Structure 1
Amino acid sequence: MPDNGDLRGVESTPRQDTQVRVFAVPPREDAAPPDIVQGFLEALTSDDPHYETAKLYLTKAAASEWDPEASTTVLADGPATTADPAGGREDGTDYSFTLTGDRIALVDSQQSYAPAVGDYARQVHLTKDQKTGQWRIDGLPPGVVMGQSDFQRNYTSVNKYYFASNAAAESGTQPAAVADPVYVRRRVDPMTQMVNSLLAGPTTWLDPVVRSSFPSGTELAKGVTSLTTDDQNKLTVPLNAKAAQVGLTKCNEMAAQLLFTLRTLTPAVDRVELQASNRQLCVLNEESAETVAARGSAERPDYLYFLDGEHRLVRIAGGSKETSADPVPGPLGTGGRALRSVAVSRDESTAAGVGIDGKGLYIGSMVSDDPLGEPVVVSQGKTEDDRLTTPSWDTHGDLWVADRDPGHPRLLLFQNGEGEPIEVGTPGLDGRIDSLKVAADGVRIALVVEKGNRQSLLVGRIERDDKAGEQPVVTVREMRSATPKLSQITTMSWAGDSRLVVVGREQEGVQQMSYVQVDGSVPEVPAPDALTGVKEIAASEDERLPLVAYSEDGIVRMATGGQWQKVVKEGTSPVYPG
């Protein structure tokens, strides 16, 4: 303790959460079979890049055949080991164990995550080497297996980006960038992992609706095993000869894919330079990449919209702290037709609203005073809950809505927000669509599907066939669950390129608000602060904008890192464009 001198204020140092790291340890001499199995399982959770230490627990033949990249099985807890009585005696020449646990997820060879349920039971067989007398594993399940906590410590979710190919975009418009989330090992050169994953192409689920600008067969140049940025935050990526003949436009798209991908992993990449055959192909910076392709998370809406106490469409500036709203220009803002729900086109020029009784869908301009006209579709449902859902606009100006009429449930699409609706196919859908929201990229759609007393949040892939005739055939395929644990979904909204915000509850649980990834995993971001009585939620793909909700307190909003604050008491149906 000092006994003289003046008093001076010092800044406190925030406590740093240390990252736990596991270092693989080779098998010790004369280790018993249980120790061999346990040591092998622990080595799987280490940061050993090529699992070289884990392979020391295997026989030479097993080590050459084992492919740790084939899959990663995630269990609720670490795998339990049970000696198999039929597998031999410890003092004999063979021995076996059964690995057991409760499955949570499976990450496949493309690094794609999928929730999984059910018991896990796989056998590990050991043999005693006749020459050395050491026990080694000669039979094991494919890939690697670990507990959930080890998976969260070892892996991180990153979006890689491709371009939408199934949307009817006009000639000359920007392609839409589509996020394809994958899991990579967070401390094993993740940058190089992501570049290799991007070059390998999209995951199987997304592949039918996206394209890559990298020519088929493009890989890193021979001998390039690691990529790092220079002191100017520029990443140089040498490619093989497959990319040597691309033009500047195509090269800029390739560089944009890389920049979008790597910026979700680290902010330390400002520019990308592509090379092939020892020459520069192109250089692209972050600002220029936004002019190459449209990305939902980079599109900042001008306004937040909602319905006021008189059921008129009103708006306030997006991201502002204003609490007074103004009616939108055009017929939906004059109050001539009372509305129960609305959606605003992504260019903020047109709005669609469902009448107060839920029967009719109306489309009106927000740049002119043209009269509203007759509804473009009318539901025959007997009750309000059996009529039209809240509509949603995609990035190409098409309008989506579902009719919940039990006698004729259907998903409808209005091309360019006009004309006769196209009935969208939903093969494999088991239940009735209760609500929907189209992603900014126009190739994915989130659906809340109700069957009996249970609701599920599904994400489907939008496929279009424009060659079938004058009217395209549109189908939503391979719908997969994003919230397998929730049995009731109150409301949901896209909140990023591959993320949704969901309000719902587990079986016999309480209402909760959380973020989920489209692949069903939980993102590494804190859940929003709790809010009582949430009825509707609105988020923008631009994560800088506030989260907005309609609750028992009216319209409220919460900026990033802030708390919920009231906007207006009388208001419903908050939405951002989309």
Structure 2
Amino acid sequence: MGLLALVAVLAASVLAACATIPRSGPVTKGGSVSSHDDPFGPIDYHPLGPDAGETQEQILNGFIQAAVSPETSYQIAREFLSDSFRSQWNPDASVTVDRAALRSDPARVNSTQLKVAITPSAFIDQIGDYRAAGSQAPVTLNYSFVKQHGQWRISQAPNGIVIDSDQFQNVFSPHPLYFYSPDFHNLVPDLRWFPSSRSTIATRIGKALLAGPSPWLQDAVVTAFPKGTQLASGSVVVGGGVAQVALNAVAAGADTATVNRMAEQLTESLGATASSVELTIGGVTQNVSGATDALRDPAISSTPLLLKGGKFGFLSSKSIVPLSGIGDQLAALRPTAATVLGDGSAAAALAHGDVYAVSDGLAAPVRIDDRAGLVAPSIDSRGIVWSGVSDANAAFAVSAGDGATAALKASWPDARQLIAFAVSRDGTRLAALIGTTDGQSHLMVAGIVRDATGHPTRIGEPVDLGGLGLSSGLGLAWTDELSVAVLGVSPQGGTAIVTQQVGGPLSDPTAGPADGVAIAAGNPSTDVWVLGSGGDLETPAGNGWQTATTGVELLATQQGRGE
């Protein structure tokens, strides 16, 4: 046998062994497998069904392990259930992610009941929203049993499934659903997690997209699909890289722009499963003329924007290329923090303890906030300045720089301090680094609700994405359409950077520069810069950090332009 053939046989043997999940023996941790490791798609687990004569404990363990396989509507897991309960159990109601090694053994409640204690690390709800567990307290799950045809079967169990965190990454996959900013200038992602079953994933994505955005984004984004639009056939069929999407007649009569937007939402959302979409509405094939002008993940410069040597501009080698337009105004202000629109037309700046709006349409910077305790301001894609103070219960001052300022309050849960905040590059979401009452630093997000003119009118109900594992937070920066990098003090000393995906898990921390005080990001998302307290600008270099330039007074944040 040739070497390549032998390798292929061994690889097939290993995969076959991994595909069947044992229900006895010690728990061991295997290596994680990503979609890049598997060129043929997601891993399919093929657990064993129940054996004759198994005890209640064996049936329960087998059921929990079999529920990692979503194939054929969790058919194997349902074999552990009684005939009367089999159709009642809803595995899609929720997902509890835990560590199998921390689960308790089944404990006896009475002759027909067992309980298991688990320690959740995250939850997925019925629409696919991911949330980190807010507590490390164990959760008890109760199961009832009945004898059926002489064999024990589960007659009552919690809806949803329990899955080990290592298996979760293989069985479930993240899929951003795309909606629009209210002005249709931007595509906005809403990350969901679905079982990676080849036969059902496109249908799950299609149904979730038609059902609309997550509750926290509900009023911040819009969809092109009219209310009541559903899949006419109940499924999305993918073949040859083409997704065939048949919708009911609710959207019949939609104009060309709306049809193009519906097709674009489907194409972007189904991007992991299909390269194009064929759309029919009420049985009529739609003539889709192509993508709209909407931006996805607005680009910003890959070069850091600095104040150095009295000049405000982009770093080029060791010198500064002055920012045209408002660069001179910003340099004259000598700000300690600033966020600048990508086209250089406007900025929000913190200088001399006050927040200013700077614009090429203004003769001079306009002071919009002089409250005590101001933190670094932000500016959104429409050039509207956002200003906040460290008191997390205080309102944000929001101004277009025309002298009129609105007060918008966010109800950050368990908030003690607003450390830093930033508007997303598409202008639809507000990320905030919050010091909570338990002494932790949490990242939270909220949707931004706007009126017909694009002015913010309300901050939606915030979502707490969880603790960051930092002794204290220092600053944050959006790195792309879904991710926020947070700089903070590491419990081990020095600084650390953690990246939180909005709607996904927290990354492992990476060591930052020892004296980092501010963070900014560019394009691509791997372009991250940290400013040290002594004025050194640091950039990642291998496993460490390299000084790009010295004598920096300010590292500015760059914002996308949504128009």
State the TM-score, normalized to the length of structure 1. Answer: 0.80
Q: Shift of residue 305 of structure 1?
A: 1.4
**2:368 matches 1:376:** yes
Cα–Cα, structure 1 residues 49 and 514, in superposed 2: closer, same or farther, change >3 Å? farther
**2:300 matches 1:314:** no
Q: How does 1:19-418 map to 2 (within 5 A)?
A: 21-77=44-100, 80-88=103-111, 95-116=112-133, 117=135, 118-129=137-148, 132-165=149-182, 169=183, 174-189=184-199, 190-222=201-233, 225-230=235-240, 233-263=241-271, 265=272, 269=275, 271-283=276-288, 285=290, 288-289=291-292, 291=293, 293-295=294-296, 297-301=297-301, 304-310=304-310, 312-316=311-315, 322-330=317-325, 332-333=327-328, 335-355=331-351, 357=352, 359-366=353-360, 371-373=363-365, 375-379=367-371, 381=372, 386=373, 388-404=374-390, 409-415=394-400, 417-418=401-402
- SS of aligned partner of 1:216: coil
Q: Shift of residue 85 of structure 1?
A: 3.8
Q: Shift of residue 188 of structure 1?
A: 3.9
Contact map agreement 2:380 2:559 (CA 8 A) in 1: no
Q: Distance in 2 between matches of 1:28 and 1:86?
A: 23
Q: Shift of residue 562 of structure 1?
A: 9.4
- SS of aligned partner of 1:252: helix
Q: Shift of residue 437 of structure 1?
A: 0.2
**2:425 matches 1:440:** yes
Q: Distance in 1 between matches of 2:202 and 2:375?
A: 42
- SS of aligned partner of 2:114: strand
State the TM-score, normalized to the length of structure 2. Answer: 0.82
Q: Distance in 2 between matches of 1:202 and 1:405?
A: 31
Equivalent AA in structure 2 for residue 308 of structure 1: K
Q: Which residue of 2 aligns with 1:521?
A: 505
Contact map agreement 1:303 1:576 (CA 8 A) in 2: no
- For structure 1, the 5+ residue unaligned runs are 1-14, 89-94
Q: Shift of residue 487 of structure 1?
A: 4.7
Contact map agreement 1:47 1:188 (CA 8 A) in 2: no
Residue by residue, what CA displacement relative to the aligned partner does 1:152-210 show, whole Å, maximum 9, x if unpaired?
22111111011233xxx5xxxx4332211110112344233212211222122222322
Q: Shift of residue 87 of structure 1?
A: 1.4
Contact map agreement 2:178 2:187 (CA 8 A) in 1: yes
Contact map agreement 1:447 1:457 (CA 8 A) in 2: yes
Q: Distance in 2 between matches of 1:487 and 1:477?
A: 26
- SS of aligned partner of 2:207: helix
Residue by residue, what CA displacement relative to the aligned partner does 1:324-349 show, whole Å, maximum 9, x if unpaired?
32222356436433221111124421
**2:520 matches 1:538:** yes
Equivalent AA in structure 2 for residue 392 of structure 1: S
Residue by residue, what CA displacement relative to the aligned partner does 1:452-482 show, whole Å, maximum 9, x if unpaired?
6543222122234679xx9974334334234
Equivalent AA in structure 2 for residue 120 of structure 1: V
Contact map agreement 1:24 1:48 (CA 8 A) in 2: no
- SS of aligned partner of 1:396: coil
Cα–Cα, structure 1 residues 309 and 457, in superposed 2: closer, same or farther, change >3 Å? farther
Q: Shift of residue 217 of structure 1?
A: 2.3
Residue by residue, what CA displacement relative to the aligned partner does 1:522-562 show, whole Å, maximum 9, x if unpaired?
36xx866754432221124x536722221367223349x99
**2:406 matches 1:422:** yes
Q: Distance in 2 between matches of 1:341 and 1:31?
A: 66
Contact map agreement 1:180 1:202 (CA 8 A) in 2: yes
Q: How many residue pairs are counted as aligned between the two chains?
A: 516
Contact map agreement 1:77 1:149 (CA 8 A) in 2: no
Contact map agreement 2:485 2:498 (CA 8 A) in 1: yes
- SS of aligned partner of 1:27: coil
Q: Which residue of 2 aligns with 1:11?
A: none
Q: Shift of residue 313 of structure 1?
A: 1.9
Q: Which residue of 2 aligns with 1:548?
A: 529
Contact map agreement 2:378 2:386 (CA 8 A) in 1: yes
Q: Distance in 2 between matches of 1:57 and 1:488?
A: 47
Q: Distance in 2 between matches of 1:79 and 1:519?
A: 25
- For structure 2, the 5+ residue unaligned runs are 1-33
Contact map agreement 1:414 1:421 (CA 8 A) in 2: yes
Q: Which residue of 2 aligns with 1:480?
A: 464
Residue by residue, what CA displacement relative to the aligned partner does 1:246-299 show, whole Å, maximum 9, x if unpaired?
221101111111122233x35x51x322112333213355xx34x1x222x143
Q: Distance in 1 between matches of 2:378 and 2:98?
A: 37
Q: Distance in 2 between matches of 1:527 and 1:373?
A: 38
**2:547 matches 1:569:** no
- SS of aligned partner of 1:208: coil
Equivalent AA in structure 2 for residue 261 of structure 1: S
Q: Shift of residue 52 of structure 1?
A: 0.8
Q: Distance in 1 between matches of 2:332 and 2:493?
A: 42
Contact map agreement 1:401 1:436 (CA 8 A) in 2: no
Contact map agreement 1:465 1:474 (CA 8 A) in 2: no
Cα–Cα, structure 1 residues 237 and 17, in superposed 2: closer, same or farther, change >3 Å? closer
Contact map agreement 1:23 1:47 (CA 8 A) in 2: no
Q: Distance in 2 between matches of 1:455 and 1:544?
A: 23
Contact map agreement 2:347 2:379 (CA 8 A) in 1: no
